Amino acid sequence: MATTPKRRRWSAVDVPDLNGKVAVVTGANSGIGFEAAKVLAEHGATVVLACRNPVKAQNALDTIRTATPAADVSLLEMDLNSLASVRKAADTLLADRPVIDLLINNAGVTFLPYGLTADGFETHYGVNYLGHFAFTGLVLPAVTAADAGRIVTIGSNAHRLGKMNFDDPGFTKGGYKPLRAYARSKLANLLFAFELQRRLQTAGASTQSLAAHPGGANTEILESIGPVRQKLKQLIDHIPNPIVHSARQGALPTLRAATDPASRGDEYYGPAGLLKMTGPPVLVKASATSRHPETAQRLWELSEEQTGVTYPL
């Protein structure tokens, strides 16, 4: 009796030829964003690294060019903490790139003490979500100008812990905890990604909006450990761990959502393994709350009010 051959796990080698494609990755100077940008450049894409810190961004660009000398990589300075910076970056990008094939909304902050953005929004909500909402809306004409543009917004397993409170989205009335704020921002990201797909589809646009999460990627989790951080990161990256894997592995769900010809709008990718923390990238389920159209509609209307950005759909 013949046996069905086991299907090979999707990996970076499955990324297709991207020559002629323009990709913009926010927060591409380190972690998931850097690894995704590096693979995109390796496969021929013209990659724009949209980053807050010019020095770190230049280091990332140099590293990519060292690994892939022919890489077409450039920098775009953008601080998601400031809507003025987001608008300036969008204007600069549109002047240089009238067509964008791929936008990866990756940048973010994690588990910070209570703070506010330059515009007065709680930092996790303002940086992880609201800045990306504004940036995506401002550059959307360039993405919809592509034959089959894609927008990938990064979520997290933590979104399942998130709760939207439209009476107090920024915890101004108390109850602030870093995990609670982070989870809310990641829930907002998924509500946005799925609502954007609904709106694109209604408008008859070929552009698709997807989401992905990296699982237990070994990135910012060790940022506060000081001088031993790099050694610990190297140790984790080379020892099998059921809930933590390398940043390069953590970038695979993003890359699959962004480049797999079989991927479709409204899909959500993440690791296949234990607790969806590690393993090859597969389709995963998002929480019921993140799929709730009325909640997404309410968040969208609030976001337009807060940012002053209205989507041209």
Residues 255-295: tens digit of each pLDDT: 999 999 999 999 999 988 656 666 789 999 999 999 999 99
Q: Which residue has the tokens 């990296």?
A: 214
Instruction: Quote the domain boundaries for residue 69.
Output: 12-301
Ramachandran region of residue 31, left (φ > 0), alpha (ψ -120 to 50) or beta? left
- pLDDT band at residue 222 using 50, 70 and 90 as cut-offs: very low
What CATH number is associated with residue 158?
3.40.50.720
Distance (Å, rounded) from C-alpha 167 to C-alpha 187? 16
pLDDT, tens digit (0-9, with 9 covering 90-100), for 13-27: 999 999 999 999 999
Which one is catalytic: 114, 125, 176, 182? 182
Tokens (6 digits) for 116: 């506010």
Tell me, yes or no, whether 125 lies in a domain: yes
Q: What is the mean pLDDT of residues 30-34?
A: 93
Distance (Å, rounded) from C-alpha 279 to C-alpha 11? 10
Distance (Å, rounded) from C-alpha 138 to C-alpha 135? 5
- Work out the percent of the chain whose per-residue pLDDT is above 70: 86
pLDDT, tens digit (0-9, with 9 covering 90-100), for 136-155: 999 999 999 999 999 999 99
Number of domains in the chain: 1
Active site residue 114: no
H helices of the chain, in order, are 31-42, 54-67, 83-96, 123-124, 131-144, 178-202, 229-238, 247-250, 252-259, 293-307
Q: Are 126 and 20 in contact (CB under 8 A)?
A: no
pLDDT, tens digit (0-9, with 9 covering 90-100), for 245-257: 577 888 999 999 9
Tell me, yes or no, whether 22 lies in a domain: yes
Tell me, yes or no, whether 2 lies in a domain: no
Tell me, yes or no, whether 3 lies in a domain: no
Tell me, yes or no, whether 7 lies in a domain: no
pLDDT, tens digit (0-9, with 9 covering 90-100), for 37-82: 999 999 999 999 999 999 999 999 999 999 999 999 999 999 999 9
Q: Pick from 107, 93, 142: which is nearest to 37 by CA?
A: 107
